[in-house]
Amino acid sequence: MRPIWLKLLMLITMVAALQAMVGLYYQRVWVSSEFRTIKYLRKLYGKKDGIFFFGDSVLRYTAPQDSDTSSIPEMLQQELSDPVHSLDGGAFQMDMYASLMQTLAARGTRPKAVLVPINLRSFSISWDCYPAWQFEKPKLLLHSERSFLVRTFAKPLLVFKAIHLTPISSKEYWETPVLIAGKDVGSMKFVHDTYLVSPDPAEKRAWFLKLYYLYKLDARHRKAAALQKLADLLRREKIPAHFYVVPLDMETGQAALKDEFTNQVRENIGVLRKVLAEQGHELHDFSALLPSSCFSYPANVPDEHLNQEGRRRMAAALAPLLKGGTVDGP
């Protein structure tokens, strides 16, 4: 008669062994149904060349009137001999980039260079805390790509709530206080219901700009921490990286909010520059690269989406970084 602890151990071992197979099955199901980027990512495992271009929807967005619908990476590709691999997705931000890069690095991928756009809006509450843009499942899936244990136990960990796919609930999001230049102006819901639906287009535009860019960035912000993690990883892996601030519609911002807008944007960029400098990286500031005419707003409020001309000029500004030439700044 075997002792009970031995029987329990045997039972646990059997469950764990079968769980490893179930884990593989789940990963396959998730990859096919939820996160197609990973299929593309897998093609890049082990590559020692090419330019990896992270990004959000700005990379691919096209304005309705555009005759050339090429994305920024495609336009950039025209100027470079190295293949440009775009690793982008709608609302992707720093912790997604960090997770993607960790997975690639763990799989022995060493690109020739990495382009990391920093969208200043991604640090704002409206993006950073937006429940649908937390990307917990893709991040978990990416983690499972580089860890056998995570792959095996991802589902049980989710089922037993050790990992939450929705770390921020809608209720929490709407209750989050909005700080404009350090001043509490009310909850997200209050700001939304009071200012963002204003019938006066100028007021509405001004409030969107405030919400998107007039936060006071702290180096301890979780997205800044993710930026630091990514920068650290790239430094350790000796992968050349180019971090840049994506262009903003500074003209509209300046017109709506005067110097307050420019000053706050500059201050926040300063914080990011410092974070990157600590990891030995430089930050290229393209925030004021483009005039208003280069932007196109899908939601009719000022953001960073570009039209054909904007994308072309953005690609042109990035090309010298990768060719090792001088930067075509503003």
* Binding residues for another protein (CB under 8 A): 4, 11, 14-15, 18-19, 22, 26, 155-162, 164-166
Q: In sequence order, which residues have a C-beta less than 8 Å from that of residue 119 and are 6 or more positions away? A: 56, 58, 93, 127, 246, 304
Considering the complex, state which of residue 24 and residue 269 has its C-beta at the smaller distance from another protein: 24
What is the smallest separation between the CB atom of 158 and another protein, expressed in angstroms? Answer: 5
Considering the complex, state which of residue 27 and residue 109 has its C-beta at the smaller distance from another protein: 27
What is the smallest separation between the CB atom of 275 and another protein, expressed in angstroms? Answer: 33
Half-sphere exposure for 253 (CA within 13 Å, toward CB): 27
How many residues comprise the chain?
330
What is the smallest separation between the CB atom of 159 and another protein, expressed in angstroms? Answer: 4
Calculate the CA 106 to chain-centre distance: 20
The per-residue b/e assignment along 136-153, b for 16 or more CB within 10 angstroms, e otherwise, is ebbbbbbbbbeeeebbbb
Would you call 119 helix, strand, or coil by DSSP? coil
Helix (H) or strand (E) holding 187: strand 183-187
Q: Residue 56 and residue 200: Cα distance in Å, rounded?
A: 30
What is the smallest separation between the CB atom of 147 and another protein, expressed in angstroms? Answer: 17
Helix (H) or strand (E) holding 31: helix 4-33
Residue 317 near residue 289, CB atoms below 8 Å: yes
What is the smallest separation between the CB atom of 170 and another protein, expressed in angstroms? Answer: 13
Considering the complex, state which of residue 159 and residue 219 has its C-beta at the smaller distance from another protein: 159
Considering the complex, state which of residue 147 and residue 262 has its C-beta at the smaller distance from another protein: 147
Considering the complex, state which of residue 105 and residue 157 has its C-beta at the smaller distance from another protein: 157
What is the smallest separation between the CB atom of 85 and another protein, expressed in angstroms? Answer: 31
Considering the complex, state which of residue 16 and residue 277 has its C-beta at the smaller distance from another protein: 16
